[in-house]
Amino acid sequence: MQLETLVIEFQKKDPLAFEKLYSMYSENICGVINTIVKNSELSQEICQDVFVKIWNNSDKYNASKGRFFTWILNIARNAAIDEVRSKSYKNTKKNLSADYFVGILEDSTNLDNKIDAIGIKKFLVHLKDKCVQIIELLYFKGYTQKEASEELDIPIGTVKTRNRSCISQLRKNVLN
């Protein structure tokens, strides 16, 4: 079934369409959340809440304003960031970004969650640290271009072009 049709059915509250979308995106969404909360059980818990929220707010999605994945990605990272903040971390985004998920993932022995460290390493081959940082900030942590430029201490125009070239490299890695 076409993604568009599936989303329309889902917006009509068809549980089967919802289940299909869940099986398509749940691992990705849970993965994004996991990069933020860095706790397997907690991230799964938040992930479920995110899908509950997605179902309950299905009418708010508008295809003309963005990709379906982009919509749920935004909901997921907001939920994860809210969780981390409520956990009395009192973290700012700067604190949050202090450790990049890749660095932690590579040190997978310290994690209680089982991550396909080999898989992710494969994606990160030839990706420079600055690429890992910018991808994580823009996609997984929801930084605006301006925030990312401040965080990475680069001109705002560079954020867009650097991101472009980094994604290109990631795409190559994924294809390989």
Contacts with other proteins by CB under 8 A: the residue count is 59
What residue type is assigned to position 115 of the chain? I
The correct pick among 5, 57, 60, 74 for binding other proteins (CB under 8 A) is 74
The number of beta carbons lying within 10 Å of the beta carbon of residue 155 is: 10
Q: Pick from 1, 2, 90, 114: which binds other proteins (CB under 8 A)? A: 114
- 163, 112 contact by CB (below 8 A): no
Residue 90 binding other proteins, by CB under 8 A: no
69, 91, 93, 151: which one binds other proteins (CB under 8 A): 69
Tell me the C-alpha to C-alpha distance, in Å, between residue 121 and each of 21, 51, 153.
Answer: 27, 28, 26
Q: Is 2 an interacting residue with respect to other proteins (CB under 8 A)?
A: no
The interface with other proteins within residues 22-61 (CB under 8 A) comprises 22-23, 25-32, 34-35, 40-41, 43-44, 47-48, 51-52, 55-56
Tell me the C-alpha distance between 123 and 30, whole Å: 18
